[in-house]
A and B are shown apart, each in its own frame.
Chain A
Amino acid sequence: MPSETITREQAVTMLDIQDLSVVIHRPGRQVAALSNVSFSVAPGEVVGLVGESGGGKSMVARAIVGMLPSGSHATGRVGFDGADVLRMDAADLARHRGSGAAICFQNPRGALSPTRTVGRQLIDRLVTHQDMKGDRAAETAKELFAAVGIRNPARRLEAYPHELSGGMAQRVMISLATGCAPGLLIADEPTTGLDVTLTREILRQFRHAADTDGRGVLLISHDLASIAEVCDRVVVLYAGTVVESGPAAKVLREPAHPYTRALLRSVPDVGGGRVVATAGGMPLMTAAPHDCPFAPRCAHATDDCRSTRPETTMLDGDWSLACFHPQETPLAEAIAADLTTAATEPGDVVLKIEDAHVVYRSRFGSGGHHALRGVSLELRAGETLGVVGESGCGKSTLAKLIMGLVEPSEGSVEVAGKGVRKQSRAERTRAQMVFQDPIGSLSPRRTVGDSIAEPLRAAKVPAKERAQRVEAALGRMELDPSILTRLPHELSGGQAQRIGIARALVGRPDLIVFDEPTSALDVTVQAQILDVIADVASDAGHGSVFISHDLATVRGFADRVVVLYLGRVVEEGPVDEVFDRPKHPYTRALLGSAPRLGETRTADVQLVKDLDEADAATGCALAARCPFVTDTCRSQEQTLQPYGETRAACWRVPELTALIEKS
């Protein structure tokens, strides 16, 4: 290690974790949550802590703020500005949590008190921790809100948490955390559940906190791609051990540890690269490992890996690694993906939606939420249609509409040539759905076998044939028949989603709707499930609708794509055409904010406001957020117009390229 690195670290390191191990004792079991973890964070630095759930990321965060769960046994040192957090008494800890390290929790709405306005909660903090007087605190609160990009802060201070959107609530959390001027800001999965445009916005806030206020930031995430851009350094955790750490550019572009590589390969890329799944799951450690915990899943593992735990070695600079077999081939070459997907002949029309509107009437009064406004679609057997858009754009409503779970207030929906609301019970099983929450979509007190067989029961298939077909579907999901007698809570997320797909397949439907099927799963599991879905979606027998806010996964296997915005189709066309040559400014903005690994991206269109602030009564729905808006846009709505193979609904498509170049 070069000597200057040592002096730099000794001089300015704020957080310095040395050899931290945490074992949690619970009656009847013991979990080694962390084993010999060491890393540091300096002021002004953004460090990403990545890995799958169960890897110990949150435990590190808890150790830093001195909130280890009851029954834990910690060894090592959590140095913070020279003091050891593990040895602080209650008074020191309280001070440390207020001004030393502050956490932004994963679920911002849950972390805000629901009965008090967010302004009140922020001001209270300022008064207690910063000894501010009421007026000054209110003034500072306004400034803090403005600093995290909340427009109209004075009004938002009066809002209750339930009145805020997810992104807005996360901003409030950040302002609460930064309000006490902490040295270190810890964000535990700050962007889970947010869509691409918001994720980007929120992450930028953390970068901003590090750059302008000189705070250290520890970003905890399972989503490598999204944090890649803002991090200076990255620490990769696996089963409670640090397997690789170093400068973000190095670790994310030329990862040396097979686990880091597996993580990166699991992430779909919006550029069209295919994911490569790594089999298996993370082990639950009961004691500090004496071998390499990743060995059972690793393609390069040798006997050494299975008998000795690799030491952490320095590669160069502060890039360190715990592996006997560092990999050197650049990742991009190693996964030179074969993009040759056999084109299937389109079959019969399986889904036909004509000018469908859905209005959710509010229970009281006359108002209502217009979730879909005139959507028309057609899908043939063998085809896969991707549906993308921000949250709140009507994606889920579209899924429900197709499944007959909501009724169109205008227009019509036909599945396999039959109007959705006129179906018999057996006909209703012609369209099947794979849900977002894999465990929540299985009835908790019904066995797996029972759940899979449900569509067959509705179609009055005799019991004997039912059992055979359930087993066949299970085989296709590569699951053992012994799983049939289990209950949903005994399944892992990945297993549960395979069961969900098996249930969708078992009745040989004409149409399968995948509603964000992987967003609740860990990255490597996500890759495994995407593999399965890609296989299922390529069947010629049925059409597939794949709904996701993650553009990259859609690109992976859709033939055509539809971009939804506030209940309208703003662009549709062949997937490569739409992704490579987007026509609509909204599509351009979406694609621009999608994370790309190892690239600094340039969004050529930046939307000017958040979705929940844009309400358009007349004219183009995007008018309030579009940088290229004209008077025509504000007064008149454009319909879908053909441009080559795609269709887009925007007045300014012909001039758009020129406009973007100018700006």
Chain B
Amino acid sequence: MAAIEMAPVVSSNRDGRFAKVLIYVGSGILVVAALAALLAPLLTRWGPTEIDPSGTLAAPGGEHLLGTDGNGMDVWSRVLHAARLDLGIAVLAVALAVVVGTLLGLLAGYLGGWVDDVLMRIVDIFQAFPTFILALAVSALLGGGFFNLVVTIAAVNAPAYARLVRAEVRTLREMQYIDAAKTSGASTIGIMWRHLLPNSLTPVRVIAPLNCGWAMLTLAGLSFLGLGVTVPTAEWGSMISLGTSDVVAGRWWTSVPPGLALLVCVLGFSLLGEGLQERADAKRR
């Protein structure tokens, strides 16, 4: 008997296998970056702000793996140590943004009425400015330093989470299981905490890693403009900024390595976020 074959399942990303690859590669990159940051002192014998009196702007090789910068500081060591600051600030800032944004979104979405109106108008004010301009303004207001940068970057990202969670909650609150919880005598806080929160976090889980990548870029951008960390501290953005004039003179090693480190980390976050998105889509099918 003749058999009729329909085309096989179209592309491999439909079944979530592609998603898995993305997630593995993305988190692989990030794990390596995090290890490099943590183990920095073991990977180089120079300190990040240690000046080698024997020479400034030394080419890569020999004493210094990636050469030295204009102040005679070891570039490889600085790139490694900067990862602590860049990754740390980005992840903490996004975590803070998620917590604050989700909380606001939950309240606005579920309570509605004037609570919603007031919270969302505040969010509107934040979202009315281009992200980077807002970050510039906030950081000019607060000043640099680790903690202030975390707050600055969290502040520019939190409104997006508030909107996202609010939208999610507004559809979820019409669901039958919320009615069921109400008729089971659950309190308002109980409904928000036990039923709405766990169910509204799916899109947040997908967006947050992507957002970490953007946060790193924002941080680097601020530092590039001199609003981030103060000069001798190792930070990719400020390193790139300091190194730009050297590039013209053919001394690429002061700015290209931090640029590449930034690129790879942002890529890691993007792949992870993309993978989570794919997986969420595959589950929905």
Which of B22-30, B73-81, B193-201 forms part of the interface with chain A? B193-201
Also in contact, A75 and B1, with CB within 8 A (given A27-B9, A435-B176, A441-B176): yes
**Interface residue? A576 (CB, 8 A):** no
Also in contact, A69 and B187, with CB within 8 A (given A435-B176, A435-B179, A443-B195): no
Kindly state the separation between the CA atoms of A70 and B180 in the bound complex, as whole angstroms.
Answer: 38
A507 contacts which chain B residues (CB < 8 A)?
A: 184
A76 contacts which chain B residues (CB < 8 A)?
A: 1
Q: Is B8 a contact of A70 with CB atoms below 8 Å? A: yes
**Interface residue? A95 (CB, 8 A):** no
Smallest beta-carbon distance A616→chain B, Å: 30
**Interface residue? A498 (CB, 8 A):** no
Residue in contact with B6 in the complex, picked from A71, A404, A444, A454, CB distance below 8 Å: A71
**Interface residue? A315 (CB, 8 A):** no
**Interface residue? B249 (CB, 8 A):** no
A430 nearest in chain B by CB position: B185
Residue in contact with A446 in the complex, picked from B17, B176, B195, CB distance below 8 Å: B195
**Interface residue? A355 (CB, 8 A):** no
**Interface residue? A486 (CB, 8 A):** no
B7 nearest in chain A by CB position: A70
B6 contacts which chain A residues (CB < 8 A)?
A: 68-74
Kindly state the separation between the CA atoms of A76 and B3 in the bound complex, as whole angstroms.
Answer: 8
Q: Is B179 a contact of A405 with CB atoms below 8 Å? A: yes
Q: Is A436 a contact of B182 with CB atoms below 8 Å? A: no
**Interface residue? A86 (CB, 8 A):** yes
**Interface residue? B186 (CB, 8 A):** yes
What total of chain B residues lie within 8 Å of the partner, measured CB to CB? 28
Smallest beta-carbon distance B181→chain A, Å: 6
Residue in contact with A444 in the complex, picked from B4, B177, B182, B187, CB distance below 8 Å: B177
**Interface residue? A469 (CB, 8 A):** no
Contact with A along B1-44 (1 / 0, CB 8 A): 11111111110000101000000000000000000000000000
Residue in contact with A503 in the complex, picked from B10, B179, B180, B195, CB distance below 8 Å: B180
Q: Is B176 a contact of A437 with CB atoms below 8 Å? A: yes
Q: Is A86 a contact of B9 with CB atoms below 8 Å? A: no
**Interface residue? B54 (CB, 8 A):** no
Q: Is B184 a contact of A454 with CB atoms below 8 Å? A: yes
**Interface residue? B175 (CB, 8 A):** yes
Contact with A along B152-181 (1 / 0, CB 8 A): 000000000000000000000001110111
Q: Is B184 a contact of A441 with CB atoms below 8 Å? A: no
A427 nearest in chain B by CB position: B185
Give the interface size class of chain A. 35 or more
**Interface residue? A114 (CB, 8 A):** no
Q: Is A405 a contact of B9 with CB atoms below 8 Å? A: no
Kindly state the separation between the CA atoms of A455 and B5 in the bound complex, as whole angstroms.
Answer: 53
A71 contacts which chain B residues (CB < 8 A)?
A: 6-9
Kindly state the separation between the CA atoms of A440 and B2 in the bound complex, as whole angstroms.
Answer: 44
Q: Is A443 a contact of B185 with CB atoms below 8 Å? A: no
Smallest beta-carbon distance B82→chain A, Å: 39
Contact with B along A1-34 (1 / 0, CB 8 A): 0000000000000000001000001110000000
A78 nearest in chain B by CB position: B4
- Name which of B10, B15, B181, B198 has the most chain A CB atoms within 10 A of its CB: B181
Q: Is A458 a contact of B180 with CB atoms below 8 Å? A: no
**Interface residue? A265 (CB, 8 A):** no
Smallest beta-carbon distance B187→chain A, Å: 6
**Interface residue? A290 (CB, 8 A):** no
Q: Is A459 a contact of B185 with CB atoms below 8 Å? A: yes
Smallest beta-carbon distance A193→chain B, Å: 16
B194 contacts which chain A residues (CB < 8 A)?
A: 443, 446
Kindly state the separation between the CA atoms of A455 and B181 in the bound complex, as whole angstroms.
Answer: 8
Kindly state the separation between the CA atoms of A454 and B183 in the bound complex, as whole angstroms.
Answer: 10
Q: Is B184 a contact of A74 with CB atoms below 8 Å? A: no
A262 contacts which chain B residues (CB < 8 A)?
A: none
Kindly state the separation between the CA atoms of A173 and B194 in the bound complex, as whole angstroms.
Answer: 42
Residue in contact with B186 in the complex, picked from A25, A73, A445, A458, CB distance below 8 Å: A458
Residues A419-433 near B (CB distance < 8 A) = 425-426, 428-429, 431-433
**Interface residue? A403 (CB, 8 A):** yes
Kindly state the separation between the CA atoms of A503 and B181 in the bound complex, as whole angstroms.
Answer: 10
Contact with B along A199-214 (1 / 0, CB 8 A): 0000000000000000
Q: Is B185 a contact of A426 with CB atoms below 8 Å? A: yes
Residue in contact with A435 in the complex, picked from B3, B4, B5, B180, CB distance below 8 Å: B180
A400 contacts which chain B residues (CB < 8 A)?
A: 179
**Interface residue? A442 (CB, 8 A):** yes
Also in contact, A444 and B199, with CB within 8 A (given A74-B4, A426-B185, A503-B180): yes
**Interface residue? A151 (CB, 8 A):** no
**Interface residue? A370 (CB, 8 A):** no
Q: Is B184 a contact of A458 with CB atoms below 8 Å? A: yes
Kindly state the separation between the CA atoms of A69 and B6 in the bound complex, as whole angstroms.
Answer: 8
Smallest beta-carbon distance B206→chain A, Å: 16
A488 nearest in chain B by CB position: B177
Kindly state the separation between the CA atoms of A169 and B59 in the bound complex, as whole angstroms.
Answer: 75
Kindly state the separation between the CA atoms of A441 and B177 in the bound complex, as whole angstroms.
Answer: 4
B8 contacts which chain A residues (CB < 8 A)?
A: 25, 70-71
Smallest beta-carbon distance A573→chain B, Å: 29
B175 contacts which chain A residues (CB < 8 A)?
A: 440
B17 contacts which chain A residues (CB < 8 A)?
A: 27
Q: Is B3 a contact of A443 with CB atoms below 8 Å? A: no
Q: Is A443 a contact of B177 with CB atoms below 8 Å? A: yes
Q: Is B4 a contact of A86 with CB atoms below 8 Å? A: yes
Smallest beta-carbon distance A508→chain B, Å: 13
B185 nearest in chain A by CB position: A458
Residue in contact with A428 in the complex, picked from B3, B176, B183, CB distance below 8 Å: B183
Kindly state the separation between the CA atoms of A368 and B137 in the bound complex, as whole angstroms.
Answer: 47
Q: Is A27 a contact of B15 with CB atoms below 8 Å? A: yes
Q: Is A433 a contact of B180 with CB atoms below 8 Å? A: yes
**Interface residue? A87 (CB, 8 A):** yes
Smallest beta-carbon distance B154→chain A, Å: 26
Kindly state the separation between the CA atoms of A426 and B62 in the bound complex, as whole angstroms.
Answer: 76
B201 nearest in chain A by CB position: A445
Kindly state the separation between the CA atoms of A319 and B184 in the bound complex, as whole angstroms.
Answer: 52
B5 contacts which chain A residues (CB < 8 A)?
A: 73
Q: Is B4 a contact of A87 with CB atoms below 8 Å? A: yes
B183 contacts which chain A residues (CB < 8 A)?
A: 403-405, 428-429, 431-433
Q: Is A445 a contact of B199 with CB atoms below 8 Å? A: yes
A442 contacts which chain B residues (CB < 8 A)?
A: 177, 180
Also in contact, A70 and B9, with CB within 8 A (given A428-B185, A433-B183): yes
**23 A-B contacts (beta carbon < 8 Å):** A25-B8, A69-B6, A70-B6, A71-B8, A72-B6, A73-B5, A74-B3, A405-B182, A405-B183, A425-B186, A426-B185, A429-B183, A429-B185, A432-B184, A433-B179, A435-B180, A442-B177, A443-B181, A443-B194, A451-B180, A454-B186, A457-B186, A458-B185
Inter-chain pairs besides A70-B6, A76-B1, A445-B198, 18 sampled, C-beta below 8 Å = A26-B9, A27-B15, A73-B6, A75-B1, A75-B2, A403-B183, A425-B187, A429-B184, A433-B180, A433-B183, A441-B176, A443-B195, A446-B194, A451-B180, A454-B180, A454-B184, A454-B185, A458-B184
Binding site for B on A (CB under 8 A): 19, 25-27, 68-76, 86-87, 400, 403-405, 425-426, 428-429, 431-433, 435-437, 440-446, 451, 454-455, 457-459, 500, 503, 507
